[in-house]
């Protein structure tokens, strides 16, 4: 196409992508959106990153439809459009992946990466995983801090440290065997409560009930809850509702684990 033959009043002419290049770009865009969704980014971020990436790499416009467990991307280039859908399966929250995908997109926008460079960058990304023992100890300390904030004394906090660390280790171990998160949370809540109940049975510390309440706080689905409300505030009501439902189910599963443990040990720590 020769730009000089075009109407000079027309907006600046951009070369239209050929169909194979358009398909390639659509695949990259949907792959980007999928990576963000799988690792716990909120819907507004997914949509904006995919849109900006597609436009930066030559599409006229990019339309993104995000569903609870799928993503659709349509690329418009001149008179042609390409649509592609991917199924989303949750891979667990990983902010390292979200950061790296967004940084790659920013480098494309800044002109540092072209399509091939971006694809290479995305394909070499591997999610950061912290070691299991470190997560267990830190979560134990976190729940102990919650107990201290709620007014627990030192022996109770120590009990929480132990029970939450063990529960977190069990949770991560079960997750590594690809158990459904509902099962994982149920078992972890049972383990945590069964250990902290010993504080009531053997009079460890003066605040055993605070220990029982704090030791299961590692199972509060905080990220999905905040994402749920954020999505709904920004107009993505369907993904928001689905996140809120999943968070409530996880909490219900946790409560079932707590209840089972309290019945077996015949101790009432809550209510």
Partner 1 sequence: MNLLIDLLRDMALASVPAVGFALVFHVPARVLKYCALGGAFGHGLRFLLLKTDMPIEWATLIAAGVVSFWGVWCAQRLRAHPKVFTVASMIPMIPGVPFFTTLLALIEIQHRGYSPELLATAVASGIKTLFIVTSLAVGLALPGLLLYRRTPVV
Which string of x and - marks every residue 85-114 that binds partner 1 (by CB under 8 A)?
--------xxxxxxx--xx--x--------
Calpha distance 47→91 (Å, rounded): 19
Minimum CB distance to partner 1, residue 93 (Å): 5
Q: Is 215 in the site for partner 1 (CB under 8 A)?
A: no
Match 């809850």 to its residue by tokens.
225
Can you read off the two tokens belonging to residue 233?
A: 């505030």
Of 135, 259, 246, 265, the C-alpha closest to 186 is: 259
Q: Is 155 in the site for partner 1 (CB under 8 A)?
A: no
Contact criterion met (CB below 8 Å) for 116 and 104? no
Task: Write the DSSP string, 156-219.
Answer: HHHHHHHHHHHHHHHHHHHHHTT--HHHHHHHHHHHHHHHHHHHHHTT-SS-HHHHHHHTTGGG
Minimum CB distance to partner 1, residue 256 (Å): 7
Calpha distance 245→179 (Å, rounded): 19
Q: Is 66 in the site for partner 1 (CB under 8 A)?
A: no
Q: Is 150 in the site for partner 1 (CB under 8 A)?
A: yes
Which string of x and - marks every residue 232-251 that binds partner 1 (by CB under 8 A)?
-xx-------------x--x
Minimum CB distance to partner 1, residue 125 (Å): 12
SS3 139: helix
Q: Is 165 in the site for partner 1 (CB under 8 A)?
A: no
Q: Is 226 in the site for partner 1 (CB under 8 A)?
A: yes
67 DSSP β-pair partners:
70
Calpha distance 195→189 (Å, rounded): 10
Specify the residue, 88 or 142, whose C-beta has the smaller distance to partner 1: 142
Calpha distance 157→162 (Å, rounded): 9
Q: Which one of 53, 57, 139, 187 is in contact with partner 1 (CB under 8 A)?
A: 139
Q: Is 19 in the site for partner 1 (CB under 8 A)?
A: no
Q: Is 104 exposed, middle or buried (0-12, 13-18, 19+ CB in 10 A)?
A: buried
Q: Which one of 22, 113, 118, 146 is in contact with partner 1 (CB under 8 A)?
A: 146
Calpha distance 245→164 (Å, rounded): 25
Q: How many residues at the interface with partner 1, by CB under 8 A?
A: 59
Of 25-33, 78-86, 147-155, 200-208, which segment contacts partner 1 by CB under 8 A? 147-155
Binding site for partner 1 (CB under 8 A): 40-42, 44-45, 48, 52, 93-99, 102-103, 106, 127-130, 134-135, 138-139, 141-146, 148-150, 213-214, 216-217, 220, 222-223, 225-230, 233-234, 248, 251-252, 254-256, 258-259, 270-271
């Amino acid at each position: 196409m020769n730009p000089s033959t075009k109407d000079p009043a027309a907006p600046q002419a951009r070369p239209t992508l050929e169909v194979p290049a358009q398909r390639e770009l659509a695949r990259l865009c949907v792959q980007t959106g999928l990576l963000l969704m799988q690792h716990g980014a909120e819907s507004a971020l997914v949509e904006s990153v995919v849109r900006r990436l597609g436009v930066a790499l030559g599409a006229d416009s990019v339309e993104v439809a995000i569903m609870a467990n799928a993503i659709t991307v349509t690329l418009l280039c001149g008179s042609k459009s390409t649509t592609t859908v991917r199924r989303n399966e949750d891979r667990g929250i990983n902010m390292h992946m979200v950061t790296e995908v967004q940084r790659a997109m920013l480098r494309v926008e800044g002109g540092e990466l072209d399509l091939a460079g971006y694809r290479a960058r995305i394909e070499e990304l591997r999610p950061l995983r912290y070691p299991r023992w470190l997560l267990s100890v830190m979560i134990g300390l976190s729940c102990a801090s919650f107990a201290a904030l709620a007014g627990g004394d030192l022996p109770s906090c120590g009990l929480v440290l132990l029970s939450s660390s063990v529960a977190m280790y069990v949770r991560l171990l079960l997750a590594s065997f690809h158990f459904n998160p509902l099962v994982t949370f149920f078992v972890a809540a049972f383990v945590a409560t069964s250990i902290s109940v010993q504080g009531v049975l053997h009079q460890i510390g003066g605040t055993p009930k605070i220990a029982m309440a704090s030791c299961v706080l590692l199972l509060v689905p905080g990220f999905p809850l905040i994402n749920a409300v954020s999505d709904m505030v920004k107009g993505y009501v369907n993904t928001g509702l689905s996140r809120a439902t999943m968070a409530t189910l996880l909490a219900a599963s946790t409560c079932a684990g707590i209840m089972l443990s309290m019945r077996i040990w015949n101790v009432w720590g809550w209510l």
